[in-house]
Chain A
Amino acid sequence: MRYLIQQVFRSPRFLFGFGILMAMLLMVIIYPLIVTYPPLEIISQGTFLPPGIYVSVYDSIDPANRYILHLDDATTKRIASKLGDDDRLAMQEWLLAVGVPENEIDLQDTVKLLEQWENHFDPTVKITGMTNAQRNYYIRLNASLDGILSTEGAIIAESNSQTGSLEQKDIVEQSYYVNVNQVPNVRVLPLGTDNFGRDVLTELVKATAVSLQIGLVAGIIATMIGLILGLLAGYVGEVVDDGIMFLTNLFTVIPTIVLLILISYSIGQEKRGAVTIAVVIGVTSWVWTARAVRAQVISLRNRDHVNLSKLSGHSIFRIILRDILPYIASYVVMALILQISTAILAEAGLSILGLGPRTTEVPTLGLMMNWAMIYQAQILGKWWAIFPVIVVIALVSFSMNLMNTGLDQVFNPTIRD
């Protein structure tokens, strides 16, 4: 036994898969200890905030944390962020359309360009061939250009409680800086927020944990059913075999996905917890394990040591337990791993169809994908809400399958390299 385990851990494939899985498990266990925010808390007003460091603006203007830096490129950067090259070209287009000669327009001379713009832009002018979308664009551009060349600071005012008028309290100059480390309220969102305004990374970690649990429960159920039926069919044979094979055939004939959809739908969302989904998946996916176990048992049942046991009058139960199970144990472990990874995929698939576990209680990988897709994250370029989830799903089942092929090589000497 020890030898076997040593062998297993010498298989590079197994080790690699095992490593990935362990890394994810560690993440799932350690991350919540460090980041203790509730995973389903809605923190952002607005959907899909991009990944980054969020610094409280209110805290940043506190004079106590104020530094003055004189940086040469500050103005250029500020202007460039509002007035890109495309915008300059668009301004040129407008100016040309209202009759400014081309040779008078210098796209690089910001001051002159803005001056021309101010003189010639009129939102009410209808330029032939211009669409409403373009018109809206120019109006937005015009608004964003307002005060772009200003060198004044921003005034912070306070409303007087007696008169209600605004009184200047402070001026934030353009050269003021704040050290992020000194701002009391900073939230790092490594993967931004999702459509509900939840922190994606925190949610993803929790979801991975839940999906792994679903996989484990479903995998164990499926393997147990498959193992028991397979053993019975294979060892007892005759009528029992025929009956069980008939049952497995029936389950093969009615496709799993249709069955899954039917059952999940019938249970109804109100009763679909993570565990229920796991059970449903487990109950519908035992067929292949049963078939495979049966095949293995049939090849074992006429071995000499089994016959010897029979002759010694041991009970069926004992023969199965002592003389057959140990020989197929490795196979069952492999089947279990496969079942777990397919169950994780099945949960994700069901959730994509809106038939997964109910939303409020726990996140699962499938639910996260489902919601990201409903709010069209993939099309709007909000990659952080959807691709990490796909990658996690793929990695989990990838690591398990790698482990499986590793095990396969160890347990099956015939296919060893």
Chain B
Amino acid sequence: MKGYTRYFGGKLVWFLITLVCAFILNFILPRLMPGDPVAGIVSRLAQGLSDATGVQAIYEQYTELFGTNKPLLEQFFIYLRNVANGDFGFSISQFPRTVADVIRASILWTVCLQFPAIIVGWMIGNTLGALAAYIRKGFDRVLMPVSIFLSNVPAFGMAIILLVIFGVNLDWFPTSGGYGFDMIPNASWDFVWSVFIHYQMPFWSIVLISIGGQAIGMRSMSIYELNADYVKYARFLGIKDRKIIGYVFRNAMLPQVTGLALALGTMVGGALFAEIIFSYPGLGTTIYRAVLGGDYPLISATALIITLMVLIATFAIEILYGFIDPRIKAAQAD
């Protein structure tokens, strides 16, 4: 057990160090971008003003508001203090909205789109991959090239193809928005249905692409495990086929689980193209617009969310591994 404590302790320390560094990077990187976003706001706000002093006065008020007139280090500590209090400040590109408000409005859409899409893609992919490895023959011959091809259609390409075929030509699904263009969010079945059908195209554009990659990975891992020595040995011992296969797929799953966790961690920025092409609300386009608008409070905050999610996902996986992977178990027992 002492081994475990050391193992987890070590992981935790690295986790924290990474978090701190990522936090600092999230703060610094956007602020290294060229251009002065505050000047951007001021030039919008001061469009009519002809005298330099008036413009300068407004500019100073805004640099004060965003804190850009202070040295970077001081800005960092102010930022740190504010974040600790849960205050991310004003968004620059969507001023006077606050960063928290902007993120609150879009994050649920992203999570609701991505979370099921990743899980479903992962499940279908792994099921198909496992079947391909087990059945081989025709199934494998057809499935493999098809999944490889699917996973290589670029994300936006897949979105456009779905849009044109199912949205424009067949007119089966709505092409834009998160719910009916003629609806106001409410608690009715109509609304649920509207959200559901608007959800389909962005959802499948993500799922179709991810199936391929998962299937390929699972298939390789399964074949690898099926040919492993322990399988032969188990067969030799006369253990039932079923039981062996149970072990085989459990082992093959392990790396796939890591993939799943990471995919869940990075999901926040991942659906950018589906969001753009289907005009689906979400964080992906929020980040993208924030970058174009030089909106570093917003970039830092969204990047921080992603960082936290990835870190938590990886940390959870490593902890989980410590318990279930016999190899790590063995290593800790030393």
Contacts and interface: CB of A to CB of B under 8 A. Distances in A.
Q: Decide if A and B touch, CB cutoff 8 A.
A: yes
A414 B228 contact: yes
Given A252-B314, A255-B269, A394 B153 contact: yes
Interface string A202-239: 00000000000000000000000000000000000000
B111 interface: no
Between B17, B30, B160, the greatest number of chain A beta carbons within 10 A of the residue's beta carbon is seen for B160
B9 interface: no
B180 interface: no
A268 interface: yes
A97 interface: no
A391 B47 CA distance: 47
B149 A254 contact: no
Contacts of B227: 414-416
Contacts of B33: 262, 265-266
A234 B88 CA distance: 40
A239 to B, nearest CB: 13
Contacts of B155: 349
Interface in A249-263: 249-250, 252-255, 257-258, 261-262
A250 B148 contact: no
B273 to A, nearest CB: 7
Given A250-B18, A262-B299, A257 B270 contact: yes
B279 interface: no
Contacts of B266: 255
A394 B291 contact: no
Given A249-B18, A266-B33, A394-B154, A258 B149 contact: no
A276 interface: no
A282 B294 CA distance: 24
A308 interface: no
A258 B306 contact: yes
Interface in B260-285: 262, 266, 268-270, 272-273, 276
A353 B151 CA distance: 21
Interface stretch (A69-77, A117-125, A396-404): A396-404
Q: Is the interface of B mostly helix, strand, loop or mixed?
A: helix
B224 interface: yes
A186 B190 CA distance: 57
Interface string A402-417: 1001001000101111
B306 to A, nearest CB: 6
A246 B273 contact: no
A272 to B, nearest CB: 13
Interface string B275-314: 0100000000001100110000001001100110011001
A191 interface: no
Contact of B291 (A265, A369, A402, A405): A265
Contacts of A416: 227
A249 B168 contact: no
B18 A401 contact: no
Interface in A3-44: 13, 16
B216 interface: yes
Interface stretch (B20-28, B181-189, B199-207): B20-28
Contacts of A13: 144-145
B192 interface: no
Given A13-B144, A393-B157, 14 more contacts: A242-B14, A253-B307, A253-B310, A254-B26, A254-B306, A258-B287, A262-B30, A262-B291, A390-B154, A390-B161, A393-B153, A394-B157, A414-B228, A415-B220
6 contacts: A246-B14, A249-B314, A258-B287, A258-B291, A265-B33, A390-B161
Interface of B: 14, 17-18, 21-22, 25-26, 29-30, 32-34, 136, 144-145, 148-149, 151-157, 160-161, 163-164, 168, 216, 220, 223-224, 227-228, 262, 266, 268-270, 272-273, 276, 287-288, 291-292, 299, 302-303, 306-307, 310-311, 314
Interface of A: 13, 16, 242, 246, 249-250, 252-255, 257-258, 261-262, 265-266, 268, 341, 345, 348-349, 352-353, 369, 373, 378-379, 386-387, 390, 393-394, 397-398, 401-402, 405, 408, 412, 414-417
